[in-house]
Amino acid sequence: MQTRRVVVTGMGVVSPLGCDLEIFWKRLCTGYSGIRRITSFDASKMATQIAAPVIEFDIDKFIPKKEQRRMDPFCHYAVAAAKLAMIDSGLVMANEDPHRMGCLVGSGIGGIAVFEDQHTVLTTRGPDRCSPFMIPMMIVNMASGMIAIDLGLKGPNFCVVSACASGAHSLGEGLRLIQRGECDAVVAGGTEAAITPIGIAGFSAMRAMSTRNDAPEKASRPFDANRDGFVMGDGSGIVVLEEYEHARKRGARIYCELAGYGATCDASHITAPAPGGEGAARAMGKAIADAGVTPESIDYVNAHGTSTPLNDKNETAAIKTALGAHSKKVMVSSTKSMTGHLLGAAGGIESVICGLALSRGVIPPTMNYETPDPDCDLDYVPNQAREVRIKTCLNNSLGFGGHNCALVLKAV
């Protein structure tokens, strides 16, 4: 399978840092925080009253009004990000065989806003008043389905659901489709729109989220000793994966190569990582081996880095296990300190970030790193971006249920 190389030729984001790729990157590298107090509903009785919502999103540019009403926001974001990625790639469907164009866009939760709204309709107005579009609006695979309908992609199309690893798994499975020769290109990534009353209430009940409500921009502080939980974000990150020779023949601009994919399971606990990050370390090792590189060749790790006490110390341990002595030399950052945690979209948007880091020669920082934690003792690129050319990076995504995914991306 390794004879068919896979490259990233297009990227699209709908995010808490904006929906223009250049603006998104500039804000990320300057430490801009997309986290703020929740205003879309009354969160005053919630333990967590902050989140990272999508900003500067004009849905009318992407989806006709009639269709908007038949889609949950998680689909709005996915369709928009996919369109932006396709435009960025320069792929023209009229010149392609649609049967060799795939789509894999995952989500951790799917249409929770529609589910919540329609439950209210059911209990207050009766079953006859529920929308006939309720089910297709809320099912998680509909993001992939709607993108395929919009873009005319007739190749393999399905949805990976592995909680916060969904977006990364989607890229990994897209890599395999192209390596196996089933596709010439795959639109892949993740999407999420879970900043709703029930979404915030559910994660708050788990005590998984930060309650630093008075200082939203300081709330997500991965690897810092005073971290107290993650901050939920909404949005979508989509890339166009393409077989290298196919991209080269059409003169495509190439961001990077997606070279390796590793997927494992902790088989340990429904929400907590395995002790020492054992499962995550195996995923990293598998991705490195799959890419045909060595641990010593990894220059940068875009960490899962959720800002929860358990994740950050166990992921640090996992990086040490996977990279050995080289872990002390590698740069590690968590961009969730600015974007918040986009759940099923995290792996997609963080793969975009890795591609930009490789192509632009800038490592985005981990913001709000103020107090070192003895359990987290790596180079977290604290508080300021670092201009340095890198050749190989690792992107980690870990999900409830013990799902671990690691991707290796390389400069071309």
- Catalytic residue positions, numbered: 164, 304, 341
Non-local (6+) Cβ contacts of 229 within 8 A are: 48, 207, 208, 209, 210, 211, 307, 308
Q: Which tokens in the block code for residue 130? A: 């529920």
Partnered with residue 363 across adjacent β-strands are 386
Rounded Cα–Cα distance for residues 27 and 33 (Å): 8
With beta carbons less than 8 A apart as the criterion, state whether 190 and 166 touch: yes
Inter-residue contact 373 to 51 (CB < 8 Å):
no
What's the DSSP call for residue 239? E
For residue 158, the cross-strand partners are 104
313 three-class SS: helix
Distances (CA, A) of 268 to 7, 165, 219, 276, 405: 34, 16, 28, 12, 16
Q: Is 385 exposed, middle or buried (0-12, 13-18, 19+ CB in 10 A)?
A: middle
Which of 191, 209, 226, 241 minimizes the C-alpha distance to 85? 241
